[in-house]
Amino acid sequence: TLARLDDVLVQARAAGRGVGAFNVVQLEHAHGLIAAAEETGLPVVLQISENAARYHGSLLGIGTATRVLAEASPATCVVHLDHATDTELVRQAVDLGFTSVMFDGSTLPDEQNRDVTAEVVARCHEAGVSVEAELGEVGGKDGVHAPGVRTDPDDAAAFVDDTGVDALAVAVGSSHAMTERSARLDHTLISRLRDAVPVPLVLHGSSGVPDAEIVRGLRAGLTKVNIATHLNAVFTGDVRRVLGADERLVDTRKYLGPARDALRDETARLLRLLAS
């Protein structure tokens, strides 16, 4: 079943739960993530990044397939465009039936981020689509880790008020694309942001954050937890394991299938952890 991001996040926050948001790169990710949501009975955010759309040449194939699978599933699924910097891609996601988009203007000067985000919110809300934005850049996507960047609570409150976004990604110590789970979060800042900002808070770059640290972050006030790299590591690790065991294997289903199932199992574990 398709759901809106704002509905899922507000409900989860009221119940004191977090929500897992995981990236779909190949179709196997969509199948594995949806299977985990079905198995656990918990909502899931299936997110396709601008980079993944670029990889596929377009959002059309992977976006449509993910949306159709989400619609057909009994699980509650948000289909979300992740880290969009191109407003044309946002328009395309809305046309394809995505229920949510993240407009990422975090590398723009704050005023420009505010103005473009406000325009995106106006257009998306008209179409019934929720919007996440980012203030204070969570680095690491370009390989440059900047875990020292922080979002100011007063700036965040003003940004949400000016733009009307439904969720806000904040910089509180994490960094994208970490393959070691060693990041530490600024829990005092998370609590201050939660008190200052009316909408649910989003943690990006959560692959580098240990389980216990994520749980503390949820208690302090985070709601949406974005994890991509860690699940890719699980997926790829399983492909390596299967291919390493049989040099003559050529059927792609023989290694992608087990990898999809490994991704499903780890996702189910994470969904339960975040909801606990």
Residues belonging to the active site: 82
Residue with smaller CB distance to Zn ion, 31 or 204: 204
CA gap 169, 173 in Å, rounded: 12
Position 204 contacts ligand G3H (CB under 6 A): yes
20 token code pair? 């897992």
226 makes contact with ligand G3H (CB under 6 A): yes
Q: 168-207: which residues touch Zn ion (CB under 5 A)?
A: 204
* Residues forming beta bridges with residue 266, ordered by sequence position: none
Alpha helices (H) in 56-152, listed in sequence order: 60-72, 87-95, 110-126
Among positions 203-222, residues that touch Zn ion (CB under 5 A) are 204
Query: Please, how many CA atoms are within 13 Å of residue 189, restricted to the half-sphere of its CB?
Result: 19
Please, what is the end-to-end C-alpha distance for the chain in angstroms? 23
- Beta-carbon-side half-sphere exposure of residue 138 (alpha carbons within 13 Å): 25
Phi, psi of 178 (to 5 degrees): -80, 135
Report what 87 binds from Zn ion, ligand G3H, none; CB cut-off 5-8 Å by kind. Answer: none
> Binding to Zn ion by residue 114, rule CB under 5 A?
no
Supply 124's token pair.
Answer: 């998306």
Does 207 interact with ligand G3H (rule: CB under 6 A)? yes
Say which amino acid occupies 182. S
Q: 193 Cβ partners below 8 Å, 6+ apart?
A: 151, 153, 156, 170, 172, 201, 221
Residue closer to ligand G3H, measured from CB, 139 or 153 = 139
As measured in angstroms, the least distance from the Cβ of 245 to ligand G3H is 27
For the CB of residue 203, give the shortest distance to ligand G3H in the complex, in Å: 8
147 contacts ligand G3H (rule: CB under 6 A):
no
82 binds ligand G3H (CB under 6 A): yes
Q: Which is nearer to ligand G3H, 55 or 74 (CB)?
A: 55
Q: Is 125 one of the annotated binding-site residues?
A: no
Q: Cβ of residue 249: shortest distance to Zn ion, in angstroms? A: 34
CA distance 170 to 155: 11
Task: State the CB neighbour count (10 A cutoff) for residue 116.
Answer: 17
In the complex with ligand G3H, the residue whose CB is nearer, 194 or 230, is 230
- Provide, rounded to whole angstroms, the least separation between the CB of residue 251 and ligand G3H: 29
Residue 228: which of Zn ion, ligand G3H, none does it interact with, CB under 5 to 8 A by kind? ligand G3H
Interacting residues toward ligand G3H by CB under 6 A: 23, 82-83, 176-178, 204-208, 226-230
